[in-house]
Amino acid sequence: MNILIVHAHPESKSFSGALRDTAADFFKSSNCNVAISDLYSMNFNPVGSPRDLKETSTVEYFDYQKEQLYGIKNNLLTDEIKNEMAKFLKADLIIYNFPLWWFSVPAIMKGWFDRVFAMGFAYGPGKGVYSTGTFRNKTSFLCITTGGAEFSYKESGVNGDINKILFHVNHGMLNFVGMKVLPPFVVYGPSTFTEEEKKSKLIEYRNYLSKLNNIKPLFY
Amino acid sequence: MNILIVHAHPESKSFSGALRDTAADFFKSSNCNVAISDLYSMNFNPVGSPRDLKETSTVEYFDYQKEQLYGIKNNLLTDEIKNEMAKFLKADLIIYNFPLWWFSVPAIMKGWFDRVFAMGFAYGPGKGVYSTGTFRNKTSFLCITTGGAEFSYKESGVNGDINKILFHVNHGMLNFVGMKVLPPFVVYGPSTFTEEEKKSKLIEYRNYLSKLNNIKPLFY
């Protein structure tokens, strides 16, 4: 199995970083190949723009999707994007590992989707979406840390159901391109954890990882 | 009335740009003050990091929220962030104007929320959320263009209900800080529009803007 962990946290020693390391160690010790895209340490540029290409087809009007298609057809995407596409293509399982910021992924990870899931690569002419999506042979899930407590992310909680919040990512980004999407592994409020609680949560995560094949995917 | 339009599109001549200009013209001709944060033309940096501050409280461990609080208390946030905060504070109505990318705002706008809605500014010690949020005296709404057709954004459509998709923005970003949130103005698939259809949609937008006071806010 080939694993890709796309990680986005400005502090490598954060609990999100510990979850990244736990997954990497678990899969390495299971004889899998593990690649990590640590977006902050890569200084990944999240801004989709003409600079995605070495040269655009025109300078008159920037039509992002048309230029993405043109860039793929003519091998003009920048190496930063091509490298991420290659890592993604090789992976059977992709874990998106991040702190929940404003009910979504940090901007640096949003830009990963904007730029790497280009038209012509992840969807577009000749490619389906959802159940006929391009990446039906891949599985993915979100591994998240939150600031707020678990009760605030229930349907009756002040923030609303965590799955409702994550719909735009699970459905709109991961499932859109055909991937099987497993339920997110969510760690609520790790900043309040004792060392014991941290250790116990990482063990829980290893257990989750060891049972991935038996976990029912989300459906919409 | 003071209006702020936060705009994010890599092509200024796009239909999203025409919507930005339509709103700016409408409000100027109604004797309002109009400010625009055109994030692409500002080359806005969307990546929340220690560089949000001229100097962080420590280099040992970057706790983003703690550093945001520290930065506000000690006036150490960078001018890019302070300028956006000042524009936002002055505004009675804030319009977020963007193309829907991957069921959400473009990364450059996500970073506006990550960095400008800092702890200590938009929420945090002494500040409430939602109905007790800090910015209860402000109104906001999303003005969006999509690639897909309207039927695909219905509850029965392949993408799901547009309001379900936008929940993380309307509820989690705008309403979270207390703002009144009006229903989004959504333009489905303008890339297929004739010139006549474009004109007619911009007239529809002016009508929407002229009736803002009578439009019922969204509730969650």
Residues B62-86 have pLDDT tens digits of 999 999 999 999 999 999 999 999 9
All domains of chain B in start order, with CATH: 2-214 (3.40.50.360)
Q: A154: which chain B residues are within 8 Å (Cβ-Cβ)? A: none
Q: Which of A47, A161, A167, A169 to mutate to test the interface with B (most CBs of B within 10 A)?
A: A47
Q: B111: which chain A residues are within 8 Å (Cβ-Cβ)? A: 46, 107-108
Q: Give the torsion through C-alpha atoms of B101, A68, A122, A105, to 10 deg.
A: -40
Q: Across-strand partners of A143?
A: A97, A185
pTM: 0.98
pLDDT exceeds 80 at position A220: no
DSSP codes, chain B: -EEEEEE--S-TTSHHHHHHHHHHHHHHHTT-EEEEEETTTTT-----SGGGBSS-S-SS---HHHHHHHHHHTT-B-HHHHHHHHHHHH-SEEEEEEE-BTTB--HHHHHHHHHHS-BTTTBBTTBB-GGGBTTTT-EEEEEEEESS-GGGGSTTSSS--HHHHTHHHIIIIIITTT-EEPPPEEEE-GGG--HHHHHHHHHHHHHHHHTGGGSPPP--
Closest-CA distance, A40 to chain B, in angstroms, reads 9
Q: B165: which chain A residues are within 8 Å (Cβ-Cβ)? A: 167-168, 172
CA distance B15 to A157: 38
Instruction: Note whether B102 contacts A117, CB cutoff 8 Å.
Output: yes
Residues A23-57 have pLDDT tens digits of 999 999 999 999 999 999 999 999 999 999 999 99
Q: Confirm if A103 and B171 have CB atoms less than 8 A apart.
A: yes
pLDDT exceeds 90 at position A219: no
- Average pLDDT (B80-99) is 98
Q: What integer pLDDT is reported at residue A212 of this predicted model?
A: 96
